[in-house]
Amino acid sequence: PLVPAGDLVTEAAAARRAVAAFNVITLEHVEAVVEGAERAGSPVIVQVSENAVAFHGGRLLPLARAAAAAAAAARVPVGLHLDHVTDDDLLRQAADAGFSSVMYDASRLPHAANVAATREAARLAHARGLWVEAELGEVGGKEGAPALDAHAPGARTDPVEARAFVAECGVDALAVAIGSVHAMTTRTAALDHALLARLAAAVDVPLVLHGSSGVPDGELAAAVAGGIGKVNVGTALNVALTGAVRAHLDRHPEQVDPRRYLAPAREAMAGTVVRYLEVITADRAR
């Protein structure tokens, strides 16, 4: 069934667990995330980023409606979340398009401007019944953003600032910069677990890890044990998809029916979803 993504995060975090959120671009991504979650027997979040909406010509509805329909038919709870929103118009469309939660991203702005923009966006979103995630510190590697040193002091989330930011903006979850970077195709990121512990102690809303494709399994499990309540994975699905398409077309260069290569690509993504879910949704007490 389709359930509010915010409820999945709140319930997971209260039980000191995490929910995995996978970014989707195509219908095959959506099908793979739902299939993987059903195989793993785990709840999951399907998330559509503003960049994915831009890829679909700025139109939110086609992919959102497909994702909502797939979620409604799923044998596990599936949340639908709008990710990395910077455009207020898109934020205003979210509820009507079937989303009950959004991530509003003003983290590129200087601190005071991030606070002001996020507070206003949270007010607007809450008035529409949306659950709101925001970001403080900056997780680098975003499309169109200048390269960022993940280890630079300004790139990391400061616990004292984080506590004040959540109170001032009234957000329901906080994305934190603790060493992960978006769009990594190797799993070599090292997380600052001491910083995560301080953030978890300082902030009383669920914490969100972005850029999780580049984080090794052990680091992910430790991050969940250390207080991360939502784990965002995107690039790993694209690594699986593209690898499968490339391998298939190398073997069958004469084929033109996209179903021939999209079927193994979708299966590869579903396998990736299962593997991440095994790490992310495993019981912390294990």
Rank residues 51 and 245 by Cβ distance to ligand G3H and give the closer one: 51
Site for Zn ion in 158-197 (CB under 5 A): none
**Distance from C-alpha of 113 to C-alpha of 86, rounded to nearest angstrom:** 13
* H or E stretch covering 131: strand 131-136
Measured from the CB atom, the residue of 74 and 192 that comes closer to Zn ion is: 192
Residue nearest to ligand G3H (CB): 234
Residue facing Zn ion at closest CB distance: 210
Using the minimum distance from each CB to Zn ion, give the nearer residue, 176 or 200: 176
Q: Which does 183 bind (CB under 5 to 8 A by kind): Zn ion, ligand G3H, none?
A: ligand G3H
Distances (CA, A) of 147 to 24, 238, 278: 23, 21, 31
29 binds, among ligand G3H, Zn ion, none (CB under 5 to 8 A by kind): none
210 touching Zn ion, by CB under 5 A:
yes
Q: Please choose which of ligand G3H, Zn ion, none residue 235 contacts, taking the beta carbon within 5 to 8 angstroms, the exact cut-off set by kind.
A: ligand G3H
Give the residues lining the site for ligand G3H (CB under 6 A): 23, 83-84, 182-184, 210-214, 232-236
173 binds, among Zn ion, ligand G3H, none (CB under 5 to 8 A by kind): none
Give the H/E segment covering residue 126. Answer: helix 111-127
Q: What is the DSSP string of 146-177?
A: PP--TTSGGGSPPHHHHHHHHHHHT-SEEEE-
With CB under 5 A as the contact rule, which of the stretches 117-125, 154-162, 210-218, 223-231 interacts with Zn ion?
210-218
The nearest distance, CB 79 to Zn ion, in angstroms, is: 16
Does the protein bind Zn ion through residue 230 (CB under 5 A)? no
210 vs 248 by CB, closer to ligand G3H: 210
**Residues annotated as part of the active site:** 83
CB of 45 to Zn ion, least distance (A): 12
Do 231 and 224 meet the contact criterion of CB atoms below 8 Å apart? Answer: yes
Kindly state the tokens that stand for 184. Answer: 């990594």
Helix (H, G, I), strand (E, B) or coil at 256: coil
**Least gap, CB of 251 to ligand G3H (angstroms):** 28
CB of 113 to ligand G3H, least distance (A): 21
Nearer to ligand G3H, 67 or 253 (CB): 67
Buried b (16+ CB within 10 A) or exposed e, 242-251: eebbeebeee
Tally of CB atoms within 10 A around 27: 15
Q: Are 128 and 96 in contact (CB under 8 A)?
A: no
For residue 266, the tally of other CB atoms under 10 A from its CB is 22
Report in angstroms the alpha-carbon separations of 120 from 88, 94, 167, 169. Answer: 10, 16, 13, 8
Q: List the single partner that 277 binds among ligand G3H, Zn ion, none, CB under 5 to 8 Å by kind.
A: none
Shortest gap between Cβ of 21 and ligand G3H (angstroms)? 7
Contact positions vs Zn ion (CB under 5 A): 210
